[in-house]
Amino acid sequence: MPEKKSAYELLKEIMELGAPRSDAELVVDAIMSVRSANWINNEPLFSSEQLTEKLNTYMAANNYPITAKVAEVNSGKYIWEIKAKHKEEYFPPSF
């Protein structure tokens, strides 16, 4: 089971990975509610590929049933896709 962290702790950790605050807040909301979310933002990132990798490594290391993808669509605009895994994927039925 994922370790319970406060929203503030999660926000701080997601921002340390390189996510801007406004995006990090939405990622934290997705983690805490285990919901998918999509949005577009134009806050600058150092690298959408590196941030995607860091976010997914963080999610896996903390056992959060979430995957993340950040992709640049235009010069300076990024699509964020946060996907919550279905309950069956996260808690497979036991035989």
Q: Do the domain assignments include residue 95?
A: no
Highest mean pLDDT among 42-46, 61-65, 74-78: 61-65
Our measurement of the distance from residue 50's CA atom to the centroid of its chain's CA atoms, rounded to an integer in Å, reads 13
What CA–CA distance (Å, rounded) separates 21 from 33?
Answer: 18
Q: Do the domain assignments include residue 41?
A: yes
Q: Do the domain assignments include residue 15?
A: yes
Looking at residue 20, its amino acid is P
Q: Do the domain assignments include residue 69?
A: yes
pLDDT interval class at 23 (50, 70, 90) = very high
CATH of the domain at 32: 3.30.1370
How much is the average pLDDT of 60-85? 93
Q: Is 84 in a helix, a strand, or coil?
A: strand
The domain total for the chain is 1
Structural domain for 23, as ranges = 7-86
In the predicted model, what is the mean pLDDT of the chain? 88
DSSP per residue, 27-83: HHHHHHHT--EEEEE----S-HHHHHHHHHHHHHHTT-SEEEEEEEEETTEEEEEEE
Q: Do the domain assignments include residue 42?
A: yes
Q: Do the domain assignments include residue 67?
A: yes
